[in-house]
Structure 1
Amino acid sequence: MKKTEAKDFRQLLLTLRARLRGDVNALADAALGKTRSENSGDLSSMPIHMADVGTDNFEQEFTLSLMEHDGSTLEQIEAALERIEAGAYGVCTECGCKIPKARLEVLPYTAHCVKCAEKASPR
């Protein structure tokens, strides 16, 4: 891969990383933040409806699962940036073949060519 192309992909990865870090931080604030009653200012000791508790729990678990997915993507982005620095970006880490530029434009943090990615994904 040419240095100018690698530089473009590096900038794209840095932009993605910054956006995801912001998303993860916002999700963490939402997941670990206040409950619905605290947000509304109701700090009384009156019990809240069980459905509200269930909704709060569901929303927190859903947010935590989104954070986990985004965290995994951040790890892949970091690995791709390391491959750029090492001069190995755009080469499949599994088979050593060149990853098509079109694939990198869609998934700039991918470490695998299409064939190897299909082998690795469960059906």
Structure 2
Amino acid sequence: MPRPVWLAKYISEGGRVMARKDALLRLHQRLVAQRDDLRKKLASDSSLGTEYGAGTSDLGDVANDDAEREVNTQLASLESRELAKIERAILAIREGRYGKCEACGKSIPIARLQALPYTSCCINCQREQELAGESDAFDADWESAYDYQARQHDQELTLSDIQMEP
């Protein structure tokens, strides 16, 4: 009885297809774990947002709270975008599209998927997108957050900073 075409390919590649499928299964498990961790972290972070500056009247504390809130907002935004990419990758696995470059259609090497499991492009297409300014990479406004913190730091005074008249 002749072997099915897909089975012949599987056998002829000496287990290579199976190894890729095993790697994709492990990546799926890793993505699900990352998704669950990020969901918990984002839920935890959103509940902490109301605690800043509660009942304090010290301007220094308020300024520090504002700076910390700005940094935490940037982190939450970054984590939210990462979560969306992870959920998109999990959906691609379910639909059988995972591991294929969305730009050129070629298989993304397992090493790249292990390094960045929610990637949707091979390294060459990603590089081309970045050079063309089309990258989906998230540019957090860290400079703005740092500048804000520096401005707030400039406004902080202690009693020793204030010169008293004789």
TM-score of the aligned structures, taking structure 1 as reference length? 0.82
- Does the 8 A contact of 1:27 with 1:64 survive in 2? no
Deviations 1:9-44 (A, max 9, x none): 1111001101111221222122x22124x4xxxx4x
RMSD: 1.7
Which structure 2 residue ranges, 5 or more long, are not aligned? 1-16, 134-166
Q: Please, which of 4, 25, 44 is the counterpart of residue 43 of structure 2?
A: 25
Deviation, structure 1 residue 3: 3.7
- Does the 8 A contact of 1:80 with 1:110 survive in 2? yes
Letter in 2 for 1:9: L
The answer for the alignment partner of 2:128 in structure 1 is 119
Which consecutive aligned stretches of 4+ in structure 1 deviate over 4 angstroms post-superposition? none
Deviation, structure 1 residue 120: 2.2
Is 2:83 the partner of 1:74?
A: yes
Letter in 2 for 1:96: G
Letter in 1 for 2:50: G
- Does the 8 A contact of 2:108 with 2:122 survive in 1? yes
The answer for the alignment partner of 2:101 in structure 1 is 92
The answer for the alignment partner of 1:11 in structure 2 is 29
SS of corresponding position for 2:46: helix
Question: Distance in 2 between the 1:86 and 1:5 partners?
Answer: 17
SS of corresponding position for 2:34: helix
TM-score of the aligned structures, taking structure 2 as reference length? 0.62
- Does the 8 A contact of 1:91 with 1:111 survive in 2? yes
SS of corresponding position for 1:118: helix
Identity %: 30
Which structure is higher in RCO with an 8 Å CA cutoff and minimum separation 6? 1
Deviation, structure 1 residue 87: 0.8
